[in-house]
Amino acid sequence: MTAVEHNPRTLANSHQSRDDVWTSFRRRHRLLHPIGFSSLQFSVILSGCILHAVFFSSQAIGSLRELPPAVQDSRDTDHETIRKLIKQLGDDHYLARDEAESKLLKIGGPAIDQLRQATSLRGNEAPDGEVQLRATRLLILIERKERERQILAFLEGNEDGIDLAGWDDFSKINDSDRFTRQLFVDMHQAQPELLAAIRKGKSAVEAEFQRASKQSMRSGGTSATDSLGTLVAALFVSSLEFEAESGTAVEKIAVSDVDLRRIQVVLTQPQMVTFVNSSGQRKQIVNLISQWLNSLPDEEASKVNIQLLTIKAYELKDQIDSVISFASNPEVPLLTRASAIEVISNLATADDLSKLEPLLNDESVAGSYLPPLNVDTDKPASADVVVPESHEDKNPPAIMHVQIRDLALIAALKILRLDVRQFGFNPKCINGTKIIRNKSGFFSDQTRALAFEKWGQLTTNN
């Protein structure tokens, strides 16, 4: 051996040099010797039993390195402890990094702000890649866990520290029971961005509503796959009122006719109607539908039709005044008015008959048809007036006009469950819930006059 090899100081320096190189290499790659032993210690352990090393590796780590104390699963963990644990995410030792990640996950919500800061720093202030990677993963897991915790507490009626956008307005429409809260959570889970936009104001909600609408169209639009959560979210935000920029009035978001039509189509799909009507949340959903209907302008025929179809599908009896208003409005197309009278016949009660008085005096023509032949057109309305189904007479009477008041009288008779034949109507003018317009006229003006005279006597006596 040379003198250099026998020199203890030289040997020490040689070992120190090798250890520094080895340590530097491990710090750069973090894949070799994750348990953090020096080269000499590692050699000693390898010369022993591998099983012994596995069993006692945790004790060896403790003797080599002092790790931060365990963090209790508490929401009151201090800022400094969280900062140290985030720094520990970049530790040289694999197990130390894992331990810090596990502790931060247990801390949960209080660590969110600092984790978010660690993931957002750039340039020289940014932590190393390992810290950012683990902090990003932790942030996703903790935010999801925190959201689930808040939702469970919210469903149980605990609103402390929970701020779900739109709840104040939503709770005014329905009671704050569990069914209402569950429906509200379904909305947030289906359209979180749309609900979050409520805090930013009318313009933000409009932009997000348009984005969600386009996304829904790309995924099938009006198909049955549209979720209930998405549907009720659309109903809710489109009926909200926002303070105008001038501060002197309130405004609703602008919803295109196409989007209104799409909402109505999804609402009135048989599958959706059946699901809602059999759901434990029917009351809440129906209240929301009524709120939405009340927010729609009623001067346009397209919007009136949307409302009538929805009211009919869900049998919204609280909307009967609106339906009577549609039927009585001369600005509404006659065919739409006739459809409104049909809805009245199915939803109104005897208490609503007085509201039909304007309709019973309306002589506007809602349609025309050629009456059956072989009928005495001058025969008075009576129980004997029955319309034959066929005829061979070569001289048919003139075309008869169906007036709004004729349809209103049929609706009134249907509400009172009276036989329409007693008033000279074709018995086929009613088919289930429908009023067949082309079978709803009289055989003559005299028959019509007698029918309304009889109706007047009936209402006077009662």
The DSSP code sequence of 48-78 is: S-HHHHHHHHHHHHHHH-PPPPPPPS-TT--
Q: Which of 338, 339, 348 is nearest to 310 (CA)?
A: 339
Q: What is the CA radius of gyration of the chain?
A: 39
Dihedral, CA of residue 426, residue 432, residue 433 and residue 439, to nearest 10? -20
Q: Which two tokens stand for residue 200?
A: 């930013």
Q: Which of 102, 135, 155 is the last residue of a domain?
A: 155
What is the residue range of 435's domain?
Answer: 316-462
* Dihedral sign computed on CA atoms, order 97, 100, 104, 105: positive
Q: Which two tokens stand for residue 335?
A: 């065919």
Q: Which of 117, 136, 155 is the last residue of a domain?
A: 155
Beta-bridged to residue 403, according to DSSP, are 365
356-382 confidence digits (pLDDT tens): 999 999 999 888 776 555 544 444 444
Q: Which residue ranges in the chain fall short of pLDDT 50?
A: 1-18, 21-22, 24-73, 220-226, 375-394
Rounded CA gap, 79 and 107, in Å?
A: 11
Domain shared by 364 and 452, yes or no: yes
Beta-bridged to residue 402, according to DSSP, are 367
Domain shared by 100 and 142, yes or no: yes
Q: What is the CATH number of the domain that holds 116?
A: 1.25.10.10
Tell me which DSSP letter residue 123 carries: G
Q: 354 in a domain, yes or no?
A: yes
Q: 48 in a domain, yes or no?
A: yes
Number of neighbouring beta carbons within 10 Å of residue 406: 30
* Dihedral sign computed on CA atoms, order 273, 279, 282, 288: negative
Tell me which DSSP letter residue 398 carries: P
Q: 128 in a domain, yes or no?
A: yes
Number of domains in the chain: 4
Tell me which DSSP letter residue 435 carries: E
For residues 279 and 165, is the Cβ–Cβ distance under 8 A?
no
Could you give the C-alpha distances from 127 to 31, 87, 90, 135, in angstroms and in order? Answer: 19, 8, 8, 10
Domain shared by 356 and 449, yes or no: yes
Q: What is the pLDDT of residue 352?
A: 94
Dihedral, CA of residue 148, residue 151, residue 155 and residue 161, to nearest 10? 130
Q: What is the pLDDT of residue 50?
A: 34
167-218 confidence digits (pLDDT tens): 988 988 988 888 899 999 888 888 888 998 998 888 999 999 988 887 765 5
Q: What is the pLDDT of residue 453?
A: 94
Dihedral, CA of residue 71, residue 76, residue 78 and residue 84, to nearest 10? 30
Dihedral, CA of residue 444, residue 446, residue 448 and residue 454, to nearest 10? -150
Q: Collapse the DSSP code of 164 into the 3-class scheme (helix H, G, I; strand E, B; otherwise coil) and give the result.
A: coil
Cα 268-193-274 angle, rounded to 5 deg: 20
Q: 302 in a domain, yes or no?
A: no
Rounded CA gap, 195 and 172, in Å?
A: 16
Domain shared by 364 and 288, yes or no: no
Q: 71 in a domain, yes or no?
A: no
Q: What is the pLDDT of residue 364?
A: 92
Could you give the C-alpha distances from 377 to 196, 311, 380, 400, 451, in angstroms and in order? Answer: 67, 38, 8, 11, 13
Q: Which single residue is written with the structure tokens 């057109």?
A: 377
